[in-house]
Amino acid sequence: MANLASESVTAKLSRELEAVREQQQAISAVLRALARPAGLQPVLDTVVESCRRLCHADHGAMWLLQGELLASVAHDAGGEVATYDRQHPHAVDRTTAAGRTALTRKPVHIPDIQKDAEYAYPGPRPERSMLGVPMIFEEDLIGVVVVVRIEPEPFSDEEIALVQTFADQAAVAITNARLTEAVERQRTELARFLFEHHRNAVLHRIAETIGLADELLPGEHQLALAQRADEDLEQLGIDRRIESKQ
């Protein structure tokens, strides 16, 4: 009896250790995605794949809250399910796993959708078991991750807790990625604005120089600069044509 108890404890500790190892690997994958200068999408894809792998599901998907609807932003299954979800945002209600998870802000486990009276997803239904976990950052719902199994195989309490823990950490990573993407976009727009402003100012000065001292410029060079300045002046609303002297 003592040996059986010891073996049971050892097996439990081994499972817990393996779960922690898998979670660490999943977090590392998200951090690597964050480090790549490829924007937000790789982070979303990595979160979905990590959640799917952590609970040994067949497929996974993510919805982000946009206004009052859930928009599909990552889907590792592909095919008609992914296409339907992208074209049909989910309502925050109890008719879908994603909507129910967003509504309750708690993990939603549907062992078998065919036995769930409230489930009314109108799209393709290749799956039977579903698990939805919310992604919340500082009490704000960011979105939902849903993992599914093709066969009616319920998720264990350990798997649910593991995916929820990872989703909490993923919410922080997604928030940081969004902020980084917004800052980079603003920086790019500012750089473009400053470049255009500086370019216009330089061409305007060139045009003034040509108009005041065009005899100092060779013919072809003068004509090219004049045309460039002319085009820029037209953008500024100034109708002025400069002809090179023969």
Residue 28 pLDDT greater than 80, yes or no: no
**Predicted confidence (pLDDT) per residue in 2-13, tens digit:** 555 555 656 555
pLDDT digits (tens, 9 = 90+) for 186-218: 777 777 776 676 666 665 666 666 554 444 445
Say if residue 124's pLDDT is above 80: yes
> In the structure encoding, which two tokens stand for residue 113, read together?
């959708």
Tens-place pLDDT, residues 76-120: 877 898 999 999 999 999 999 999 999 999 999 999 999 999 999
Confidence (pTM): 0.63
Full strand arrangement of the beta sheet holding 140-149? 90-91, 69-75, 59-66, 140-149, 129-137, 108-110
Contacts from 40-46 at CB under 8 Å and sequence distance 24+?
Answer: 40/174, 40/177, 40/178, 40/181, 41/73, 41/74, 43/173, 43/174, 43/177, 44/73, 44/74, 44/174, 45/74, 45/76
Task: Report pLDDT digits (tens) over 44-85.
Answer: 888 888 888 888 899 999 999 999 999 999 998 778 989 999
pLDDT given for residue 232 in this prediction = 55
